[in-house]
C-alpha cells in the first residue's frame, strides 16, 4: 500500500467529516503540526494515529485497515516508527519503574522479560528479542546525542531470569555507564512515592522542537506528541531526575548489588 493512497483516504475522510487539521489534532490528542506533517508526507503515519483518526472521523476502521501490517514480521505496529525517532533524537530521556530499559538490557534479560507469562510462541519471542537488541545501536551510532536513564532501584533487586542473569545485567549497566553519551541515574527506594509510579516513558528530543513521547501500559504502548501530555511528562521527568542519585552514587549502588566483582 502506497502512503500517498493512505494520505488521500485521510484527507477525504476529514473533508467528509468537515473537520479541520486543528480539530482532528485536538480530537485525537496529537499536535496540529504532526497532522500536517502526515498529510504532506513528511511523517509516516503510525497505527496509533490511524486508529485514533478512525475513531474521530467515524471511518469504521478504514484507515487502520489500510495501514495494517503483519506484526509477525517485526515489532508491534504501534512501535514501528519509534526506532527511527530514537535514531534521530539529540537527547533521549528514559524512565522505568520496574525493569531495566530496553536499550540497556542483555539478551538473556530481554528474553526473560519477553518470555514472562508465556504469552508468545518461541519464534515470536526470538523476533522480539532481536528487535530489542537492534535498538541498542542507539547507544553507539551517534556520540553527539545523549541518552539519560533514570531507573527505579526496585528494578535492580528483581532477579529477572534468575540471579546469574541479573548479575550479568548489572554488569551491563556499568559498561553502558562508561559510554560518553550515556548518563545513568538510580531512583532510590527511600524516595518513596514519586511522580511516575504508574508507568515508564521515553522522551525523544528531536532536532528543532519536534519532540515525541513513548508511553507504556499493560496492553500496548503509545507514541504521542500532544502538547499537554508533553508538558506533564516533562514535569514528571524533571521531578524524577531531581530525586535520583548522581551518576557516581548510582554506579556505587549497582556495584554493591553485583555478586560477581
Scan for cell 509477525, then name that residue: 72
Residue 135 has pLDDT above 50, yes or no: yes
Residues 38 and 164 in one domain: no
User: Cell 513528511 belongs to which residue?
Assistant: 42
Closest CA relative to residue 243, chosen from 198, 195, 200, 182 = 195
Residue among 249, 231, 213 at smallest CA distance from 85: 213
Q: Report residue 212 as a C-alpha cell.
A: 515525541
Do 170 and 249 lie in one domain? The reply is yes
CB burial readout 58-91, b (16+ within 10 A) else e: ebeebbbebbeeeeeebbebbbbbbbebbeebee
Question: Are residues 82 and 131 both part of a single domain?
Answer: yes
Grid coordinates belonging to 223:
507514541
- pLDDT confidence tier of residue 68, bands split at 50, 70 and 90: low
- What percent of the chain stands above pLDDT 90? 54
Q: Do both 124 and 43 map to the same domain?
A: no
> Domain check: are 139 and 225 in the same one?
yes
The structural domain count of the chain equals 2
Residues 38 and 151 in one domain: no
103 & 47 share domain: no
Domain boundary among the residues 51, 68, 85 is at: 68
Residue 107: give its domain's CATH number.
3.30.870
CATH number of the domain enclosing 33? 1.10.260.40
CA distances in angstroms from 208 to 88, 91, 203, 211, listed in the order given: 11, 12, 14, 8
Residue where one domain finishes, among candidates 68, 85, 107: 68
pLDDT in tens, 158-182: 999 999 999 999 999 999 999 999 9
The reply to whether 53 and 89 lie within a common domain is no
User: Do residue 60 and residue 79 come from a single domain?
Assistant: no
- My answer on whether 195 and 237 are in the same domain is yes
Domain of 37, in residue numbers: 3-68
**What span, in angstroms and rounded, lies between the C-alpha atoms of 109 and 166?**
7
- For residue range 90-128, what is the model confidence (pLDDT) as tens digits? 999 999 999 999 999 999 999 999 999 898 888 888 888
Same domain, 124 and 62: no
Amino acid at each position: 500500500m502506497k502512503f500517498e493512497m493512505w494520505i488521500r483516504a485521510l484527507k477525504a475522510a476529514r473533508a467528509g467529516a468537515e473537520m479541520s487539521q486543528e480539530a482532528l489534532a485536538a480530537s485525537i490528542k496529537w499536535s496540529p503540526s504532526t497532522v500536517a506533517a502526515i498529510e504532506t508526507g513528511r511523517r509516516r503515519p503510525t497505527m496509533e494515529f490511524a486508529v485514533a483518526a478512525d475513531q474521530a472521523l467515524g471511518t469504521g476502521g478504514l484507515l487502520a485497515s489500510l495501514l495494517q501490517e503483519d506484526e509477525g514480521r517485526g515489532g508491534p505496529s504501534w512501535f514501528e516508527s519509534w526506532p527511527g525517532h530514537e535514531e534521530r533524537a539529540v537527547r533521549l530521556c528514559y524512565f522505568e519503574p520496574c525493569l531495566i530499559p530496553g536499550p540497556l538490557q542483555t539478551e538473556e534479560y530481554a528474553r526473560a522479560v519477553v518470555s514472562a507469562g508465556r504469552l508468545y510462541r518461541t519464534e515470536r519471542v526470538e523476533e522480539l528479542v532481536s528487535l530489542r537488541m537492534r535498538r541498542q545501536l542507539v547507544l553507539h551510532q551517534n556520540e553527539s546525542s545523549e541518552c539519560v536513564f533514570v531507573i527505579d532501584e526496585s528494578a535492580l533487586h528483581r532477579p529477572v531470569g534468575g540471579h546469574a542473569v541479573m548479575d550479568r545485567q548489572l554488569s551491563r549497566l556499568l559498561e553502558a555507564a562508561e559510554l560518553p553519551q550515556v548518563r545513568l541515574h538510580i531512583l532510590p527506594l527511600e524516595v518513596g512515592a514519586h511522580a511516575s509510579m504508574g508507568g515508564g516513558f521515553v522522551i525523544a528530543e528531536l532536532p528543532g522542537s519536534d519532540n515525541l513521547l513513548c508511553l507504556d501500559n499493560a496492553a500496548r504502548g503509545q507514541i504521542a506528541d500532544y502538547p499537554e501530555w508533553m508538558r506533564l511528562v516533562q514535569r514528571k521527568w524533571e521531578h524524577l531526575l531531581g530525586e535520583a542519585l548522581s551518576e557516581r552514587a548510582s554506579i556505587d549502588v549497582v556495584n554493591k548489588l553485583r555478586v560477581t566483582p
